[in-house]
Amino acid sequence: MSLPITAAQDVLREKFAKNRVTILVGETGSGKSTQVPKFIRSLDPEHERIAITQPRRVAAINLARRVADEMKVSVGKEVGYTVRFSNMSGASTGIKFLTDGMLLRELLVKPKLSQYTTIVLDEAHERTLLTDLLMGFLKALLRQRTDLRLVIMSATIDAERFSAFYDDAEVLYVQGRMYNVERFYLPAPVEDVVDAAVRTVVQIAMGEKTGDILVFLAGQEEIDKATDMLTEVAQSWPKEAPELAVLPLYAALPQNQQMAVFERPKGNRRKVVLATNIAETSLTIPGVRYVVDSGLHKVKVWWHDLGLDSLLVVPISQSSAAQRMGRAGREAPGKCYRLYTEQDYRNLKTQNEPEVLRCDVASPLLVLKCAGVDNVFKWDWFERPQKKAMVASLTQLYALGALDNAGAITPLGRKMALLPLAPHLAAVLLKAQAAGVEDAVLDIVSCLSIENLLMNPHPDKRDDVNEKRQPFVQASAGMGDLLVLRELLVFFRGLGSRDEKRDWCRDLYINFRAMSNVEDIKRQLQGYLKTKARADNDHRITAAEAEQVIKCFLAGFVCNTALMLPDRSYKTVVGSQTINIHPSSSMFGKRTEAIIYTEYIFTTKAYARMVSPIQLDWLQEIAPHFLNRREA
């Protein structure tokens, strides 16, 4: 009731009733995501069917729970959510939170989106590729459906661009409640930002009596490290200072642990939340008075020359820095400690680069083709990708067999577009269906659909963990990491109790919760493929089948292959770049004439992960059209 947006609700209702398109700008935490759907629904509770998109699945789930709670209903009825591999909505759902990717899939199946009266694109300032794409589709749809209402919500004030795209749609601003935040810079740059963050947290925790602390770090690795360090410090904590409850928050974390950041910790403890940019705008954590900002985040970057994408740690923008700082001033005056110099701050870009300009556009292009857009270059993009990127992605789709010589979508491409997987993984799965190794490939693809299933042990523990994983490497008969993954899954399935499974996972550095989700994902994928579950889940595959499995992956990852040179280094087939087998791979230190890999990471060197051996003639067998074309 006391949210800033509540005061404006009558005006908002009136505007939503009148405008076909409205741009709503409001400070993070002002109540946009949780309240706007309810305002719209109240216009006509019988008939309003509202879809609200979120770039992140955690946010979609969390918001649905919150709104259901506020309305005193259970999730899945009036209020629900749909995210990849989990659907909690039904015929009676009037307010549905869903990821932007899921709305796009629904659009392919029902191009008019007639199941909804209103679409709300939330977190539009994040400029994810999929939200950008939806903006274009909805612009066209608004012309066809005069009864459709569109609301675009953003946490930053640069809304003119959205307005201009929709024929000068009205922009409304919700005044947020913002207290003053004092900001501090470092006098000189630091070498180790995790260490600096930990020291800053300790300093705040000793010096300030109340208020929770929110720390922004680049990614899981940094967060895990800081969590360990702080947990250790907390053990010899002086009695005078309130105890610390150290809580990590990142997308790959099990859900119950994610939810812990929203609760009051037991006793007199003060929360220290260590988060990625997930806490920047899409989730609001109550109680925060101090923000520690590393100035870094992880973004997906696409390497045109390699035909690969990978996550890189890069400096944030000034706009992100402002958002992070704002988290400290929501409930009372706060403080923000920036772990960089004022000069560094001035050198930051003002805005983050939109995803569409730095990511692989194969998946969106396939969606466009599937939706009947022939000339993707001429489509009404909210922001047009670079021509080079589009050409590279079209080539990739052609190599996958999703497009024909004339650039038209093939029946295979149509099937790929409807699977909730990246085009190359979809291609693998469809190939497996034809090759009779569907079950094993489904196992592997399900595993690959979960981030961080195999955890990266601390370098001290790496040898120990590798040794424990060795029997599974043996069982895979040298066919590489993909088959090791399946061996691990089959063994996990065979274990008895939950405790037994959990202990085994801990021992082998496998994410227990993630592993437990694999079966569910497999079931959902089977649903999409319309195949029945087979009873031979633990079927041990033969050498010939293993070869088939790798060939299926080759059909999807033909661009991600590398050849061994006489000096034993590997050079990528596409782009001719040097690449190394990652030390965590079962193929590390082994020799084989060529490899295929499904993951690429760049740290000090370029590394291939999830590596399997291949033979050169398989390339010719699986992707002749691709190779011939390249020679031509």
Q: Is 94 a residue that touches ligand CDP (CB under 6 A)? A: no
The answer to whether 550 touches 437, Cβ cutoff 8 Å, is: no
Rank residues 2 and 210 by Cβ distance to ligand CDP and give the closer one. Answer: 2
Identify the residue among 116, 262, 302, 600 touching ligand CDP (CB under 6 A): 262
Q: Is 79 helix (H, G, I), strand (E, B) or coil?
A: strand
Q: Which partner from the list ligand CDP, Mg ion, none does 29 bind, CB cut-off 5 to 8 Å by kind?
A: ligand CDP
Nearest to 517 by CA among 455, 440, 453, 429: 453
Q: Which two tokens stand for residue 179?
A: 């207290």
Q: Is 586 a residue that touches ligand CDP (CB under 6 A)? A: no
Q: Is 264 a residue that touches ligand CDP (CB under 6 A)? A: no
Look-up of token digits 């979809």: 426
Q: Which residues bind Mg ion (CB under 5 A)?
A: 33
- The minimum distance between CB 31 and ligand CDP, in angstroms, equals 4
Kind and range of the H or E run holding 58: helix 57-70
Identify the residue among 3, 425, 489, 608 touching ligand CDP (CB under 6 A): 3
Q: Is 54 a residue that touches ligand CDP (CB under 6 A)? A: no
Q: Which two tokens stand for residue 37?
A: 């759907």
The answer to whether 596 touches 557, Cβ cutoff 8 Å, is: yes
Identify the residue among 15, 20, 49, 66 touching ligand CDP (CB under 6 A): 66
CA distances from 26 to 11, 123, 134, 174, 375 (A): 15, 10, 21, 5, 36
- Sequence-ordered list of residues with C-beta below 8 angstroms from that of 356, at least 6 positions apart, any chain: 127, 129, 132, 133, 364, 381, 382, 383, 384, 385
Interaction pattern, residues 220-239, with ligand CDP; x per rule: CB under 6 A: --------------------
Q: In what order do the strands lie in the sheet with 79-83?
A: 86-88, 79-83, 95-99, 50-54, 118-121, 149-154, 21-26, 170-174
- The minimum distance between CB 171 and ligand CDP, in angstroms, equals 16
Q: Which partner from the list ligand CDP, Mg ion, none does 26 bind, CB cut-off 5 to 8 Å by kind?
A: ligand CDP
Q: At what angle do helices 100-109 and 411-418 cross, to 10 degrees?
A: 140
Rank residues 63 and 88 by Cβ distance to Mg ion and give the closer one. Answer: 63
Q: Which partner from the list Mg ion, ligand CDP, none does 319 bind, CB cut-off 5 to 8 Å by kind?
A: none
CB atoms within 10 A of CB 47: 9
* Phi and psi based region of residue 72 (left: phi greater than 0; alpha: psi -120 to 50; beta: remaining): left
Rank residues 52 and 138 by Cβ distance to ligand CDP and give the closer one. Answer: 52
Q: Is 183 a residue that touches ligand CDP (CB under 6 A)? A: no
- The minimum distance between CB 283 and Mg ion, in angstroms, equals 8
Interaction pattern, residues 10-39, with ligand CDP; x per rule: CB under 6 A: ----------------x-xxxxxxxx----
Interaction pattern, residues 277-306, with ligand CDP; x per rule: CB under 6 A: -------x-x--------------------
Residue 146 burial (C-beta neighbours within 10 Å; 0-12, 13-18, 19+): exposed
Q: Which partner from the list Mg ion, ligand CDP, none does 55 bind, CB cut-off 5 to 8 Å by kind?
A: none
Q: Is 324 a residue that touches ligand CDP (CB under 6 A)? A: no
Nearest to 296 by CA among 399, 441, 197, 426: 197
Angle 430-435-436 from CA coordinates, rounded to 5°: 100
Q: Which partner from the list ligand CDP, Mg ion, none does 3 bind, CB cut-off 5 to 8 Å by kind?
A: ligand CDP
CA distances from 547 to 78, 273, 478, 479 (A): 49, 46, 11, 8
- The minimum distance between CB 406 and ligand CDP, in angstroms, equals 45
> CA-to-CA distance for 105 and 370, rounded, in angstroms?
11
Rank residues 121 and 483 by Cβ distance to Mg ion and give the closer one. Answer: 121
Rank residues 14 and 70 by Cβ distance to ligand CDP and give the closer one. Answer: 70
- The minimum distance between CB 66 and ligand CDP, in angstroms, equals 4
- The minimum distance between CB 487 and Mg ion, in angstroms, equals 42
Q: Could you list the residues that contact ligand CDP (CB under 6 A)? A: 3, 26, 28-35, 62, 66, 262, 284, 286
